[in-house]
Structure 1
Amino acid sequence: MDRRDRRRKRRVRNQIISYIVAVVLLAGLVTGGFFGVRHISNAMEEKKQQEESQSQEESLAQAEAMDQTASEADGTGEETSETESVESQEEILEELVEACVADMSLEDKVAGLFIITPEQLTGVGTAIQAGEGTQEALKKYPVGGLVYFAKNIQSADQLKEMLAKTVSYATYPLFLGVDEEGGSVARVADQLKLTNVGPMADIGAGGDPGAAYTAGQTIGSYLKEYGFNLDFAPVADVLTNPDNKVIGDRAFGSDAALVSQMVASAVQGLQDTGVSACIKHFPGHGDTSGDSHEGAVETDRTAEEMQGTEFLPFQAGIEAGTDMVMVGHISAPGLTGGDAAPASINENIITGVLRRQLGYDGIVITDAMNMSAISEYYTADEAAIKALKAGADMILMPEDFVTAYEGVIAAVKDGTIDENRINDSLKRVYRVKYAGTLQ
């Protein structure tokens, strides 16, 4: 590729990125600021500087064009039609993400790695609306997302208004999430008297992956309608222990191959509606009998056993393109060579197995950090720091959000956590959040 070709590609690329940023800004204005006017304006300023630099390159174009024309006349010039093609969407997305993250303060970066409840954000007892309190709280703590429960849902109109206003107050794009698995875990369907798709065990028993796709699509469609963009589902656990009441009929079944097909189809159905899927609970909660909400839970499964059973549905979900994987709080010393630290803060499991062995490079989020398996043994800041150092990208519901948030900031400032580690996680988050702007 010659200099002229490279110059053309840079020019087209910058024009496309400028266009994309302009579209995102317009979308933010129309929808109430989903992408954050200040944030996008800064990105546009950076693109303006790129264009000014580009104009300086143009000043050399005439001289180079004369040489190129002479070369082509001699038959030595290369065809330029293919080299004039623009860079891939992935490359354009990467440049947009890089520009956005580079514009953020450390405090905003760290806040962006937390998903918390609206009550944790505002301090109210039960959040059923979004007003000045939400607006001020999001200015102070621009978190990465909010998760809602049945108590937050009173009616369809109330839910839509609350989520829409919350989005409009955000400086940066938000994940608005909920546990909507179907069956016994269906916060939205049950509260709004919608048709419940039923437990995943029933769908798995039918043996038709198409039914799992339809269930995911159905759930995603109504979540999207009300304003959600993240579902902490589907469950990817293989129910190998029939006494496991915590997972029970939330799982598709006890056959790893069948569960794998169902998980992949459910992920596709959900994400085809524009709602991100989050498969859970890695490395696999199906063989346990305890409840990590109540205390420490351990599996005695070996690495070989987990590779042949528990990991298969997660691998299938990853190959199906799941935007997020939730890591549970179970201990798996047989998988880690004796390290009994909970998976959510265990580098051997998150980085060693999920990242390296299974090849997952999407968003890794912890299970709720206010669960007893974590909160009884670690302070909120200790748990958050350990999770990030282990390789997690997002922290879900710490026992004390402010303590965890301030603890992570302090850890970056004193060198316990490298800021590049924070940047890497935030980029994974923003790749998902901004990907829709290129579609």
Structure 2
Amino acid sequence: MKNKICVAIITVAYMLSVFGGIVLANSWVNNNINMAGQLSRMMMMSDKLAFDRQVDTIMANMSPEEKLGQMMMIGIYGTELTNDAAYMLNKYHIGSIILFDRNLVSKEQICSLTDGLQQYAKETVKEPVPLFIAIDEEGGRVVRGKNIIEPPPSQADIGRSQNLAQAELWAQKTGTNLKSLGINVNLAPVADVGTTDTRSYSNDASTVASFVKAAANGYESVGEVYALKHFPGIGRGKVDTHKDVSSVDVSKETLYETDLKPFKTIIDQKENDRFFILVSHLKYSQLDPNNSASQSRAIVTDLLRQEMGYNGIIITDDLAMGAVAKYGSSRDSGVKSVKAGVDIVMMCHDYKQAAEIYSGLLDAYKTGELTEEQINASVRRIIRAKLLNRIEYTD
């Protein structure tokens, strides 16, 4: 009997020792996992602080003139860096360029042009960050250099395929092709619901959101910056904004259920520094009865920035389009857009008008109509995006 009791005691003691060892081992592992997690978080915080300091240092060494130049995207003429284009870069510190068919002849020529633009910005103008160089390569009828860059199918064709993988694949392919040419921003995909042409994936908002997300995945996988357009959606427009303003009478509640859904999906699910949102010139009378979207603080700041939580770059559609140009000067339209909360204003086809926009912004800054706080907020977003997306000067 005593032997059995002794055996039982020894067995229990052994089990307790083993269990205690397991507990201690688990405790050691958990403590080390927690420590590793804390170290990882500390390293991430350190990286973030270092990145923020880098942005702060760049901005601290920029003049107001340089900052305002970062807030402009212009089109240029010629298939190489011309004296006129060089003058615009140097005089107005332009931070972004958009290319059209007039600039595209061959792959070798495009690479030479983009390299030349970046080198001039770096070596002559001494810009602290490289240029955004953009293009409209949506697919279908809106493509550039179709004999040079493989043109994607229209978004409507991709949508009709009901194959999300096609949207991702074409974004990957297009992004890769553009990056190889020195073009680091594609002003696509179109996030509009139910346009009357072939530019929309679908008439259904949820379907559009799914295809836009697939395209976003494709662009991000190859490191190409992309742009969702045309906020808050032009599917309801009845007039081509290239010609005149189109007024849409629809409630905010309805927009949230339809046109805004693709934009909101990407804002909520993607890192906002990886993409632009391009704002249209349509007028949404229930949101702002007086101003086109690109000139409306109620739409750009109150809705997109504050309500929808977007903290990336907001860019206008071309300010030379009739919906804006017929109702005010270039000087005024640029200032109104920036006051509304836009980060980059676009002027695609006219150097003189681009110069007027810049002069208007600078005068508004000097008089206090545009505040230093607002300018700095926009430029900070632009610099962050250029650094995070590895927009680099060419060698």
**Bucket of the pairwise TM-score, normalised by the shorter protein:** 0.7 to 0.9
Alignment of 1:241-320 (within 5 A): 244=196, 248-318=197-267, 319-320=269-270
- 1:181 counterpart (138, 150, 173): 138
Structure 1 window deviating more from structure 2 (135-144 vs 357-366): it is 135-144
1:156-201 CA-to-partner distances (Å, cap 9, x unmatched) read: 111110111111111231000000001111103x131x43220111
Q: CA deviation at 1:436?
A: 3.6
Identity %: 30
1:8-40 CA-to-partner distances (Å, cap 9, x unmatched) read: xxxxxxxxxxxxxxxxxxxxxxxxxxxxxxxxx
Alignment of 1:407-418 (within 5 A): 407-418=360-371
Alignment of 1:49-64 (within 5 A): none
User: CA 1:88 to 1:252, structure 2 compared with 1: closer, same or farther past 3 Å?
Assistant: farther
Q: TM-score, normalised by structure 1?
A: 0.75
Q: Which has the higher contact order (CA 8 A, sep 6+)?
A: 2
Q: CA deviation at 1:92?
A: 2.6
**Hey, what's the Cα distance between the residues in 1 that align with 2:155 and 2:219?**
14
Structure 1 equivalent of residue 81 of structure 2: 130
> Do 1:134 and 1:169's aligned partners in 2 also have CA atoms closer than 8 Å?
no
What's the C-alpha RMSD, in Å, of the aligned pairs? 2.1
> Do 1:216 and 1:269's aligned partners in 2 also have CA atoms closer than 8 Å?
yes
Aligned residue for 1:87, secondary structure, equals: helix
Alignment of 1:11-410 (within 5 A): 82=39, 85=43, 87-119=45-77, 127-130=78-81, 134-170=85-121, 171=127, 172-188=129-145, 190-192=146-148, 194-239=149-194, 244=196, 248-318=197-267, 319-321=269-271, 322-334=274-286, 336=287, 338-397=288-347, 400-410=353-363
User: CA 1:295 to 1:395, structure 2 compared with 1: closer, same or farther past 3 Å?
Assistant: same
> Do 1:150 and 1:191's aligned partners in 2 also have CA atoms closer than 8 Å?
no
Which 5+ residue runs of structure 1 have no aligned equivalent?
1-78, 120-126
Q: TM-score, normalised by structure 2?
A: 0.83
Aligned residue for 1:185, secondary structure, equals: coil
Q: CA deviation at 1:437?
A: 4.7
**Hey, what's the Cα distance between the residues in 1 that align with 2:324 and 2:152?**
32
1:200-242 CA-to-partner distances (Å, cap 9, x unmatched) read: 1111112222211111111101000111000110000000x6x
Residue 293 of structure 1 aligns to which amino acid in structure 2? H
**Hey, what's the Cα distance between the residues in 2 that align with 1:360 and 1:366?**
15
- 2:376 counterpart (423, 427, 436): 423
1:52-75 CA-to-partner distances (Å, cap 9, x unmatched) read: xxxxxxxxxxxxxxxxxxxxxxxx
User: CA 1:88 to 1:330, structure 2 compared with 1: closer, same or farther past 3 Å?
Assistant: farther
> Do 2:241 and 2:322's aligned partners in 1 also have CA atoms closer than 8 Å?
yes
> Do 1:268 and 1:320's aligned partners in 2 also have CA atoms closer than 8 Å?
no
**Ranges of 4+ aligned residues in structure 1 off by more than 3 Å:** 79-86, 88-91, 131-137, 436-439
Q: CA deviation at 1:136?
A: 4.4
1:88-129 CA-to-partner distances (Å, cap 9, x unmatched) read: 54433222111111110111111110000113xxxxxxx111
**Hey, what's the Cα distance between the residues in 2 that align with 1:89 and 1:301?**
45
Residue 191 of structure 1 aligns to which amino acid in structure 2? N
